[in-house]
Homo-oligomer: A and B are copies of this chain.
Amino acid sequence: MENDNTTSNVITNLITEFSKLPGIGPKSAQRLTYYMVKITKDQAFNLSKAIAELKEKILSCSECFNITEQSPCGICSSETRDTSIICVVEQPIDVIHIERTGVYNGLYHVLNGVISPINGIGPENLKINEFFQRIFSLQIKEVILATNPSMEGEVTSMYINNFLSEKNIKTSVLARGLPIGSDLEYTDDLTLVKALEGRKLLE
């Protein structure tokens, strides 16, 4: 009974909500909550509003399944992008990462996951059929399979590649190799194997 009085409900409630976020443990949730206590009402409302607005305004693009505020999204409806090349990624966040590089100007297709039998996720749970349909309707010349270099990512890429191999479409995967700034000594064996296999002749 006494303890119920000492911590306010709104405090414990916010600690609980913060704890549900990925990578936020109970201690961090507590620290974040007391940070919210300290900042101004306006500062706190900005975060609260940003979360609410996200859920109110966000849509899935009817073409590429990236998240967007209007469907089709800015990339799919752009007149300056190369619509003959399409990059297949696992998640919306991957689109941002690739866009930031500034070297790609084609379309995207977001699978919204990867094939993962252990987790009961098959091709039918992803936007793979939608991708195959898009291939037909668009004049695609090249598909870049940019799933993550994980077991599931590779399986998903292979599944899509099997389908594409019969069509007359160039298909590529992102290069595997040493990440820039890495140290050979600390590189895992598989990455080193891929780096050796993918070595390039110097001209």
A residues apposed to B, CB below 8 Å: 2-11, 13-14, 16-18, 20-23, 28, 30-37, 41, 43-55, 57-58, 67-69, 73-75, 78, 80-81, 91-93, 95-96, 99
B22 with A92: CB separation less than 8 A = no
A and B contact pairs by CB, cutoff 8 A, 29 listed: A2-B74, A3-B99, A5-B78, A6-B73, A7-B99, A8-B67, A8-B68, A9-B69, A10-B50, A10-B58, A11-B58, A13-B53, A14-B50, A16-B50, A20-B47, A21-B35, A22-B32, A23-B28, A23-B32, A30-B93, A33-B54, A34-B93, A37-B92, A44-B55, A45-B55, A48-B48, A48-B49, A48-B51, A51-B51
Binding site of A, secondary structure by majority: helix, strand, loop or mixed? helix
Taking CB atoms, residues of chain B closer than 8 Å to A5 are 73-75, 78
Q: A58-B10, A80-B2 are in contact. Are A35 and B22 (CB under 8 A)?
A: yes
A13 interface neighbour in B18, B50, B92, Cβ under 8 Å: B50
Taking CB atoms, residues of chain B closer than 8 Å to A30 are 93, 96
B58 with A52: CB separation less than 8 A = no
Number of copies: 2
Known: A45-B55, A48-B55. 11 other contacts (CB 8 A): A2-B74, A5-B75, A6-B96, A7-B99, A11-B58, A11-B67, A21-B32, A34-B93, A36-B54, A44-B51, A44-B52
B93 with A14: CB separation less than 8 A = no
Q: What's the nearest-Cβ distance from chain B to residue A46, in Å?
A: 6
Taking CB atoms, residues of chain B closer than 8 Å to A3 are 99
Taking CB atoms, residues of chain B closer than 8 Å to A67 are 8, 11, 37
Q: What's the nearest-Cβ distance from chain B to residue A47, in Å?
A: 4
